[in-house]
Each structure stands twice: as C-alpha cells, then as structure tokens.
C-alpha cells in the first residue's frame, strides 16, 4: 500500500520514462527469431518484459545483460536461433501478467515441431484467448485451452504445417495481428489481417527492419490491412527503444492537472498508432509541444507539457471514440482521471476492450473515481465522466493492475486528503521506478 497527498506545489523539471513495453517485448522476440545477434538498448526491465526473456530462455535462446564499458549503457544481447532452431521447453512457459507475451509467443509456439504449454498469472488465466486460438486454428495449428474455457493455459501440439490466411478481426488488436503475423512467418502463403482501425504497428516496423516483407495498407472500406509475404530471412539488428508514451501519459496528465506545472519528458516514442493521447489532449486545449522530433524508425520526441485550462465543445462535452481509441487504449484510465478534474463532461465510447485488459478497467476506474467523489457512470463500451466535482482522498483497489495503480496515484495529486493505493507494487509490471520518479517531482 502507498499513501499519497495532494500536490502542494507545481511539478517542474525533466523526466525520463523507461523504455516502451511493446517495443521491448518485440525486440527480444524478433531477435530470437533472427539469425545472428541483436543488441537492444533502452530495454524496459519490467516484470512483463522479463517474462518474455524467460520464455525465450526456455526455448534455448541465449540472452545476456551487460553494461557497455564505453558509455555505461545497459544492453541486452539476444543470440538469435533463426526460425527453425528452438529447443523444446522442458516446462510450461510462464508469462506472468503479460498479455503481449502470451499472445505473441502463441503465434510462434503454434509453428514449432515440438509440443508446448503456455500460461500466466490469475489475470492472464481469465483473459480471452479465443481471439488468437481461432485464427491460429484456421492456419492449421493445433491449440487447445486446457480447461476448455478459451483462456490460458494453452497447449500446442507441434509438427503442424501452417498456411497463410486472410483474417478479418472485428476489433483492432496489435496482439492478435502480431500473433497471426508471427505464425505467418512459418506459413505457406501470405498472411493478411484486416482490422477496423490500425492498431499499434511496432511489429510491422520492427519486423521489416529485421528483413521481413510486411507492410500496412488501407482497404477501400477504410479498414486497416497488414500483409506478410513469408520467406525472407530475418537478420540480427540494433534496436534503441524509445521511452514509453503510456508511462509518459501519467506525467503529462499530472502536469496538466497541477496548477503552474511544466514538465519536459525526454525521448518518448510518438508513433501515430500510439500517440492518440496527444491528439485528444491538444483538442481539449492542452499546452503540449513536441521538441527534438526524430522520425528515423520509430518516431520519438521530447514532450513539453504545461498546466492548461481545458475545454469541451459548445455543449460542455468532449467525446473520445472511434479510430482514436486503439491509439490510446492504455491511456484511457489516466485520461478519465484528468477529465474528473474539469468542469465539462467527457464521454469515452467504442472502448469495450477496456473490460478485458489486466482488469476490467471500465468498472475499476468508475469504482475508484466514484470513491474519490467523482460523478462518473459506466457504459457498455466506456464511461461518462461528469467532471468538476472536487476529488477527495480514498482507499483505492488497484486490482493489481499497473495502469490503475499509476492512474490513481495521479488522481491523488488533485485530491484533498490522503489517497491510499492497495497492492501498488503492481507498477513493476511496466514501470518499476514509477513512485520514485513521481516523488522526485513532488
């Protein structure tokens, strides 16, 4: 449990957030699948990404941590085995709390010559896996849910020949898309995934850099398409992971919320498929400026954010929905916190996916913010926040969900009295030094 008080002065200074979680996972996975070595700097050393490393170690991949003697930079070196040279694991692969590890690894395991089993913690064992089992089955994989509930543990029977498929995913999901693309590397023929809006495209960017033939298109009906032609050799690479915009989001909201604040958040990934929070906050009138923009590979920039008055439309409403949602899905809890402090209504819609994240984030945000005095209601596919009522400190259940623990820590900065967050150690899933970094600004 951690106790936090209302911020007593403006937040000022420079912040470095740790490496991007999605990109860190992929750097290990694609490095393992490639021939030769891959060197990763800026890697996120959090529980989720360490789960990915553990899983690949169980498949016989040598992965080393070192500190560069010349510049002191921590580096992860992945000694790639190539697509066809993994060893059969001698125990179940354990993914902890990580949906990305579970779903992306599944695409790889489906194509191996050996049997395997994968599972994670209590939260992982409740998350829907039908969304990957169905397309993998269509590709010819043999995957079953051990308890027959379409959740992990998943058991793969090895030695299946896979074929490429064209798959129309009803929701935009980078985990599903990436799972199919990874299986597609092993398949006969092209793999094509349609999604209603483009989900984060780190797989496409990084796999291309490793040598794969993969790209995005826009279909005539406006849906996003990802196409992989298999057969190109993957070669080792050097990867520098930018800071995670999902982690930066907590400081962006904190600066917008605490009067007089001004923060410069350095070296943050601002890939358009991830940066919806910047677009939406700019539309609300937030004073956010991008500095030192670097668009080589994954785009990155320093984000300068200053306390701002925000506004809704002429009806004192602000609606967040549609294609914007996948570009800010993980940031919606902290955006809800910000909305609670403003005197207009914020309507979040088209975000039913929030219910099946590490926790049910619609119910948990509504429960926590209601306890803090906010007028907020859950809807089928999001929530409506009637902002402007003063927040008060409360005891908050994090549901062991890292993004909720951090969102409510930011809410505490605007709340009168003490806010206690239960099981706050879950921040280690994506941002182990979060509370230390936050305290340094208070």
Beta bridge partners of 216: 226
DSSP 346-369: EEE-S-GGGGGSSS-HHHHHHHHH
Q: What is the helix, strand, coil percentage profile of the chain, to 5? A: 35, 25, 40
Q: Which residue stretch of 173-181, 224-232, 268-276, 409-417 sits at the interface with ligand S3P (rule: CB under 6 A)?
A: 173-181
Q: How far apart are CA 147 and CA 161, in angstroms?
A: 25
Q: How far apart are CA 422 and CA 415, in angstroms?
A: 17
Q: Scan residues 305-344 and list those touching ligand S3P (CB under 6 A).
A: 329-330
Q: How far apart are CA 270 and CA 252, in angstroms?
A: 13
Q: Scan residues 365-394 and list those touching ligand S3P (CB under 6 A).
A: none
Of residues 199 and 359, the one with the C-beta less far from ligand S3P:
199
Task: Tell me the closest approach of the beta carbon of residue 242 to ligand S3P, in angstroms.
Answer: 14
Q: Which residue stretch of 169-177, 251-259, 268-276, 281-289 sits at the interface with ligand S3P (rule: CB under 6 A)?
A: 169-177
- Stretch (H or E) spanning 306: strand 300-306
Of residues 109 and 258, the one with the C-beta less far from ligand S3P:
109
- Stretch (H or E) spanning 226: strand 224-229
Q: How far apart are CA 399 and CA 365, in angstroms?
A: 10
Under the binding rule (CB under 6 A), the answer on residue 22 touching ligand S3P is yes
Task: Tell me the closest approach of the beta carbon of residue 328 to ligand S3P, in angstroms.
Answer: 10
Of residues 146 and 352, the one with the C-beta less far from ligand S3P:
352
Task: Tell me the closest approach of the beta carbon of residue 289 to ligand S3P, in angstroms.
Answer: 26
Q: How far apart are CA 56 and CA 406, in angstroms?
A: 29
Alpha-helical runs (H) found in 258-398: 276-283, 332-340, 361-371
Q: In this structure, what DSSP letter does residue 300 have?
A: E
Widest distance between CA atoms in the chain: 62
Q: How far apart are CA 177 and CA 100, in angstroms?
A: 11
Q: Which of 100, 201, 327, 407 binds ligand S3P (CB under 6 A)?
A: 100
Q: Which of 97, 175, 341, 359 binds ligand S3P (CB under 6 A)?
A: 175
Task: Tell me the closest approach of the beta carbon of residue 171 to ligand S3P, in angstroms.
Answer: 7
**Residue 330 annotated to the active site:** yes
Contact of 15 with 441, CB cutoff 8 Å: yes
Q: How big is the site for ligand S3P, counted in residues (CB under 6 A)? A: 11
Of residues 22 and 261, the one with the C-beta less far from ligand S3P:
22
Instruction: Verify cis geometry, omega within 30 degrees of 0, for the bond prior to 153.
Output: yes
Under the binding rule (CB under 6 A), the answer on residue 173 touching ligand S3P is yes
Task: Tell me the closest approach of the beta carbon of residue 415 to ligand S3P, in angstroms.
Answer: 26
Of residues 200 and 399, the one with the C-beta less far from ligand S3P:
200
Task: Tell me the closest approach of the beta carbon of residue 28 to ligand S3P, in angstroms.
Answer: 12
Of residues 339 and 354, the one with the C-beta less far from ligand S3P:
354
Under the binding rule (CB under 6 A), the answer on residue 174 touching ligand S3P is yes
Q: Scan residues 200-229 and list those touching ligand S3P (CB under 6 A).
A: 200
Of residues 176 and 234, the one with the C-beta less far from ligand S3P:
176
Of residues 359 and 419, the one with the C-beta less far from ligand S3P:
359
Q: How far apart are CA 262 and CA 307, in angstroms?
A: 6
Task: Tell me the closest approach of the beta carbon of residue 147 to ligand S3P, in angstroms.
Answer: 21
Q: Which residue stretch of 111-119, 142-150, 171-179, 363-371 sits at the interface with ligand S3P (rule: CB under 6 A)?
A: 171-179
Contact of 42 with 240, CB cutoff 8 Å: yes
Q: In this structure, what DSSP letter does residue 18 have?
A: P
Q: Please identify which of the residues 121, 302, 330, 345 carries the catalytic annotation.
A: 330
Task: Tell me the closest approach of the beta carbon of residue 378 to ligand S3P, in angstroms.
Answer: 19
Q: Scan residues 61-90 and list those touching ligand S3P (CB under 6 A).
A: none
Q: How far is CA 39 from CA 21, 35, 269, in A?
A: 16, 13, 19
Span between the terminal Cα atoms of the chain, in Å: 19
Q: How far apart are CA 86 and CA 218, in angstroms?
A: 35
Q: Which residue stretch of 172-180, 302-310, 315-323, 416-424 sits at the interface with ligand S3P (rule: CB under 6 A)?
A: 172-180
Kindly give the pairing relationship between strand 74-81 and strand 62-67.
antiparallel
Under the binding rule (CB under 6 A), the answer on residue 24 touching ligand S3P is no
Active-site residues, by number, are 330
Which residues of this chain interact with ligand S3P, rule CB under 6 A?
A: 22, 100, 173-175, 178, 199-200, 329-330, 353
């Amino acid at each position: 449990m951690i106790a936090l008080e209302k911020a007593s002065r403006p937040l000022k200074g420079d912040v470095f957030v740790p490496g991007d979680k999605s990109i860190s996972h992929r750097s290990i996975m694609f490095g393992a699948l490639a021939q030769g070595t891959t060197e990763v700097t800026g890697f996120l050393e959090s529980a989720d990404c360490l789960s990915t490393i553990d899983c690949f170690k169980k498949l016989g991949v040598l992965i080393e941590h070192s500190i560069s003697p010349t510049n002191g930079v921590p580096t992860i070196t992945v000694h790639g085995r190539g697509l066809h040279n993994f060893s059969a694991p001698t125990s179940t692969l354990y993914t902890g709390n990580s949906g990305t590890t579970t779903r992306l690894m599944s695409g790889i395991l489906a194509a191996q010559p050996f049997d395997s089993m994968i599972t994670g913690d209590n939260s992982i064992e409740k998350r829907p896996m039908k969304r990957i089992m169905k397309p993998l089955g269509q590709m010819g994989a043999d995957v079953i849910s051990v308890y027959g509930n379409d959740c992990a543990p998943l058991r793969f029977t090895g030695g299946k020949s896979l074929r490429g498929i064209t798959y129309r995913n009803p929701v935009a999901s980078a985990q599903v898309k990436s799972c199919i693309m990874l299986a597609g590397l092993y398949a006969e023929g092209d793999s094509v995934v349609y999604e209603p809006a483009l989900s984060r495209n780190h797989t496409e960017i990084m796999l291309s850099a490793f040598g794969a033939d993969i790209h995005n298109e826009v279909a005539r009906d406006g849906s996003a398409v990802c196409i992989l032609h298999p057969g190109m050799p993957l070669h080792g690479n050097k990867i520098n992971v930018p800071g995670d915009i999902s982690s930066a989001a907590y400081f962006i909201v904190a600066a917008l919320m605490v009067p007089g604040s001004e923060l410069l958040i350095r070296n943050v990934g601002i890939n358009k498929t991830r940066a919806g929070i910047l677009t939406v906050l700019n539309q609300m009138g937030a004073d956010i400026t991008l500095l030192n923009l670097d668009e080589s590979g994954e785009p990155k920039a320093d984000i300068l954010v200053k306390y701002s008055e925000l506004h809704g439309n002429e009806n004192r409403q602000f609606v967040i929905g549609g294609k914007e949602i996948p570009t800010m899905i993980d940031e919606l809890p902290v955006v809800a916190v910000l909305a609670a402090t403003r005197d207009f209504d914020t309507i979040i819609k088209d975000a039913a996916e929030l219910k099946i994240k590490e926790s049910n984030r619609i119910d948990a945000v509504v429960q926590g913010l209601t306890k803090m005095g906010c007028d907020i209601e859950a809807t089928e596919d999001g929530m409506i926040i009637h902002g402007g009522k003063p927040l008060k400190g409360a005891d908050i259940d994090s549901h062991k969900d890292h993004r909720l623990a951090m969102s409510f820590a930011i809410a505490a900065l605007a709340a009168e009295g003490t806010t206690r967050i239960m099981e706050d150690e879950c921040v280690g899933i994506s941002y182990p030094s979060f509370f230390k970094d936050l305290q340094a600004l208070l």
